[in-house]
Amino acid sequence: MDEEKRLTRKKNILLSVVSVVILCILLFPLYWALITSLKTEQEIFRNPPTFYPHVLNSKSYAAQVETGDFNMFRSFANSFLISVGATVIAVLLAVPASYGIAKYHFKGRKIMLLSFLVTQMLPVSVLLTPMFIMFKNMHVYNTWVAAVLADATIGIPFSVLILKNYFSSIPKDLEEAAYLDGCNKFTAFIRILIPIAKPGVMVCAIFSFLYAWGDLAYGMTFILDQEKRPITAGIFNFMGQYGTKWSYLTAFAVVTIIPVALIFIFMQKYIVSGMTSGAVKG
Amino acid sequence: MKKIKKMFRYENVGILFVFPAFLYMLVFVGYPIIRNIILSFQDVGAGNLVRGTKNFIMFDNYLELFKDSVFKTSLSNTLKYTILCLIFQFMIGFLLALCFNQRFTLAKPIRGILLVPWMIPVTVTALMFKLLFATDIGVINFILRSLDLINKNIEWLTTPGTAMFALICANVWIGIPFNMILISTGLTTIPKELYESASIDGANKVQTFFNITLPLLKPTIESVLILGFIYTFKVYDLVYVMTSGGPVNSTHMLSTYSYKLSFEMFKYSKGSAVANVLLAILLVVGISYIKVTTSGEEE
Amino acid sequence: MKRKKIIALFAVLAMTASLVAGCGSSGNTGDSAASVDEGTTAGEEASVNEGSEEEPAPETESSGDAEAVTIWYYWETEGHQVALDQVIQEYNASQGNYEVTAKYVPFADFKKQLSIGASADELPDIAILDSPDHASYVEMGIFEDITGKFDVGNYYEGTVNSCTVDGKLYGVPFGVNCLALYYNEDMLSEAGCEVPTTWDELMATAKALTTDSVTGLALCSVQNEEGTFNFVPWLWSTGATSYDINNENGIRALSFIQSLINEGVMSKECINWTQGDVMNQFIAGNVAMMENGPWQIPTMQSEAPDLNWKVTLIPKDTDYSSVLGGENYAVINGGNVEGALDFLTYATSEEKVKFMMDKFGYISADKTIAENQFEADSPYQPFVEELNYAMPRGPLAEWPSVSDAISLAFNQVITGTATPEDAAAQAQATIDGIVK
């Protein structure tokens, strides 16, 4: 297979160079945020702008660790806890749901699928007040739990839509073999299907995590205490507090990106396959 | 007992699997939808939010919207923004997919790294683009000046037309990887033999693209565009952080206008009506998505 | 905390599981869905009617049986937060009945949090809020009528009016401020300019001060309440009012701001600058004159101790004019009213007011305190003089909508999207629809 498609050496080099150029252009905003966070405020306002920090300034990072209310590490830890919680709920609920939709053609299946899709479409202005009222009645307002429960509502529908394709791509024979071995519907699901769909489950976990990590509105509205708020709310506060103090703002932005970058490096394979199966029939 | 057994008939077992997730969403999202619909037919403002009677005024809020110039701007902005974003991110994504589907050495690692923009919290992306598009310290103005394309700094975020352009740029940046990777995978599903027989028949590259690639990619393209539409149409964080709907309401979207009415001007019912218009449009798109992805399935 | 979270997670899962089991026998999704909806709505109504007896406030381990009193405020300046906190600490130490805690809610979120909190009956006991919004919340019915509980006879009339509705007092002014014109003395003397007192002089001075790297004048022009705050002094100086813009006077004010932009003596970027940003530009030397408030003085003194600046009255068209700003304390009804009143009595005592006003860079709302608050050569003194010309916005329950129309009109002329005539006519049409 491979030998016939292998590119000529010249073409290989040319394409590699082109792709590196594309990479540089597309990732430039990230580079710019990084170097801005390391510049002094004077250098940021210098004209023409400098393309690397002439004076290395780590003050903007240090300042966030020192001050009490907006401690970067704490809001980082909050975001992490909230995201993990939301991921757990989303995976536990979405895995069986997507299996049900993929493998059983019960009545109202399309309606259910549509309703999962619809829940992804709601603007935040619709959700904030009623959710707030519910969380207050559940006595979880102003705790991580409120943000966890709310963030899971972003992860669940997305996971269902993706995982449904995973499950429908698994041949029926496998399940039937399990029944012959004495499994019932539920044990077959747990022993046979979940292990096969493991990559899909990983993808759902990653996406639920990323959605929760990126959320701003829920974390801001349902958690009042600064020290419990997620890191995105911290950025938003900084924008109010420091206005155009770009070194501080970008330092905070860089710290927010780091876990995303880590997830990406370790989970690249899953993410690619996840994005793919979400929209293309499995 | 008999009844329960009937419940466990093969196809209906599926409901049991779906039910927990469905219930969860129903509680946390279903209730807000119903509440929002009711609210949009009432006259709730600062005066009767907590106490006092809430009168049903039926369609008055909706009728009022069609006289409201900001609503009209928001509606056309949302459509304009969504369509322009889709066109650009789709075309650039398509080109990149074609490029990275060639088997050169760096193809796979670089295609992977290019996904990063899609994974960054939108708040951060908005912040970065605000910095890039700043008038005096913005690097975009600097590059344009250096290339002699402009001689005076453009006030990107403070001029109505260019502010919309900046928003579209930021969103296209987020959307390119999404489009690229989906189309890229779609391309790999096209059997190689088709291309080979085409080249034997003497078809050139352009003919192959239009006669083989595009028709076979149709399901992928439909999915990409519809999902992209949904995610772009309800844009909120990006606009809120970059322009807050300004300058002079020129970048208000349905989502940001609904938020402003509900939480800054105390016009709760009118805000709900705006949100419902947004929801109705997306519902139509959502139904077509379900049709596309489940067509051909035996029911 | 962590354990609590995990327990709650399990509770939710258990709940879902039990509902799944229940579904097996009834087999009707519609039924249980309806009951869930009813449950939540009923809960909402019940809690609204009952008022909040149970205060799910944070556990205060420090002082055994003290009742909790919570405060929401939006000051983002660190000095303000520290000063408020100090008064609270002293209060908590001075008595054992109440334990006060204050929570910062960002200004951009403050209105949203209060309105959602009102719907959900989850509010603090005291809110420290922007004075022009006061009337809206009174109409919402969340503030306690505290007529007769505080002696506001000596307070500036405008500030008392901002928390009075139908002759009843719904709040206590925290402190006042107003806007005035800051100028960079070195730049002025270098350009050989006098301090401007009229619009014509201001225009000439701004032109003389504008160079490649410096713009003559800056004022916060954001399209929200903060922008309106900065625009109305110019509007009122012509004799126009907040509700009557579409006339020769209103148009003249809009035209003047537009000409500042067209002449290049004010940057269009102002529509993205908060008052804090404007101050940063001023102390960075990018702006020679700015319209701003006294609360910036402590920051300016600490961040730019060498900068040579002074404050003067905002130049006038017909009359000197400024706008009254500041916050009011409001007591939330249904909350811990006793505790709130007790703290407010403490916080509005002369000693505490003086302490906070100094730290905040505010002027006391109490005239007797204000008159002796500053030395004759204090940079705050011009603000005390400016207060004589300062008028309040509103009070009006629909002020947010009026304010939106005003700031939109000014933003339209600044960005050149409408002529002053059209902007004035459009704003008037909106305002006439609100104020009949």
**Host H or E run for residue C219:** strand C215-219
C395, C161 Cβ separation under 8 angstroms:
yes
Cis peptide leading into residue C298 (ω within 30°): no
Q: Which of residues 154-193 of A touch B (CB under 8 A)?
A: 156-157, 160, 185, 189
Position C5 scores a pLDDT of 46
Predicted ipTM? 0.84
CB atoms within 10 A of CB C214: 16
Angle at A74 between CA A69 and CA A79, to 5 degrees: 115
Of all helices (H) and strands (E), which one includes residue C134? helix C134-140
pLDDT over 90 (residue C251): yes
What local confidence, expressed as pLDDT, does residue B3 receive?
Answer: 53
Give the CA distances from residue C355 to residues C66, C86, C101, C129, in Å, rounded to whole numbers and listed in that order: 26, 10, 19, 20
Q: In this structure, are strands C98-104 and C164-165 parallel, antiparallel, or unpaired? A: unpaired
pLDDT band at A242; cut points 50, 70, 90? low
pLDDT-wise least confident of B285-294, C298-307, C418-427? B285-294
Confidence of residue B17 (pLDDT cuts 50, 70, 90): confident
C-alpha span between A154 and A163 (Å, rounded): 15
Count helices and strands (H / E) in chain B. Answer: 16, 0
Write down which chains contact chain B via at least 3 CB pairs under 8 A: A, C
Question: Which CATH number is C67-177+325-391's, of 3.30.2350.10, 3.20.20.10, 3.40.50.300, 3.40.190.10?
Answer: 3.40.190.10
Cα(C290)–Cα(C181) distance, integer angstroms: 6
B255-277 pLDDT, tens digit each: 999 999 998 888 899 999 999 99
A9 contacts chain B (CB < 8 A): no
- In chain B, residues with a C-beta closer than 8 Å to the C-beta of C142 are 50
User: What does CATH list as the number for A67-279?
Assistant: 1.10.3720.10
Pick the CATH number of C180-313+398-434 from 3.40.190.10, 2.60.40.10, 3.30.70.1880, 3.20.20.370: 3.40.190.10
Residue of B94 and B211 predicted with greater confidence: B94
Pair of tokens at residue A41: 């405020």
CB C186 within 8 A of CB C308: yes
Interface of A with B in 212-251 (CB under 8 A): 213-217, 232, 235-236, 239, 246, 249-250
The band of B206, judged by pLDDT with boundaries at 50, 70 and 90, is confident
Domain ranges of chain B: 70-294
Please check whether residue A121 is in contact with residue B26, taking contact to mean a CB–CB distance below 8 angstroms: no
Residue ranges per structural domain of chain A:
67-279
Chain A: give the shortest CA distance to residue B161, in Å: 22
**A106 or A84, which is more confident:** A84
Residue boundaries of the structural domains of chain C: 67-177+325-391, 180-313+398-434
> Could you tell me which of B43, A129, B262, B244 has the C-alpha nearest to residue C122?
A129
Mean model confidence pLDDT for chain C: 84
Q: What is the mean pLDDT of residues C390-419?
A: 92
Residue of chain A with shortest Cα separation from B188: A276
pLDDT tens-digit profile of C328-359?
Answer: 999 999 889 999 999 999 999 989 999 999 88
Spatial separation of the C-alpha atoms in residues C142 and C131, rounded to whole Å: 15
pLDDT, tens digit (0-9, with 9 covering 90-100), for B157-183: 888 889 999 999 999 999 998 888 888
Q: What is the reported pLDDT for C10?
A: 44
**How many percent of chain A have pLDDT more than 70?**
89
pLDDT band for position C111 (cuts 50, 70, 90): confident
Q: Angle at Cα B157 formed by Cα B156 and Cα B158, nearest 5°?
A: 100
Strands C168-169, C322-331: parallel, antiparallel or unpaired by DSSP? unpaired
Q: Chain A neighbours among B 167-226 (CB < 8 Å)?
A: 173, 176, 178, 181-182, 185-186, 189, 219-220, 223-224
pLDDT digits (tens, 9 = 90+) for C4-22: 444 444 444 444 443 333 3
CATH 1.10.3720.10 correct for B70-294: yes
pLDDT at residue B299 in the model: 40
Per-residue pLDDT, averaged over A250-274, amounts to: 78
Indicate the pLDDT class of residue C53, thresholds 50, 70 and 90.
very low
